[in-house]
């Protein structure tokens, strides 16, 4: 399995944020969870750049989890 890295910008976000997955060779599962750990959104992508619409999310702290080939990366996202 190859390593990959993620970059989330802008962060804090208001209307949308971009998730850049560097080094992705296969599909990735993107999961957004709230501070209590509840999954509020999930999708799969083969793309290195993914735009997430945050305009319908309440203000607060969320966690973006990217899983690919048994590698998991997590990034904190603040929605204002």
pTM to 2 decimal places:
0.92
pLDDT score recorded for residue 3: 84
Tens of each residue's pLDDT in the chain, 80 residues: 568 999 999 999 999 999 999 998 899 999 999 999 999 999 999 999 999 999 999 999 999 999 998 999 999 999 99
pLDDT score recorded for residue 2: 63
- Which residues make Cβ contacts (< 8 Å) with residue 54, sequence separation at least 6? 13, 14, 15, 16, 17, 77, 79
């Amino acid at each position: 399995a190859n390593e990959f890295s993620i970059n989330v910008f802008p962060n804090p976000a208001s209307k949308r944020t971009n998730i850049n997955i560097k080094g992705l060779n296969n599909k990735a599962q993107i999961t957004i969870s709230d501070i209590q750990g509840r999954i509020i959104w999930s999708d799969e992508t083969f793309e290195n750049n993914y735009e997430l619409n945050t305009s319908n999310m309440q203000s607060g702290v969320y966690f973006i989890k990217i899983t690919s080939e048994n590698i998991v990366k997590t990034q904190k996202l603040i929605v204002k």
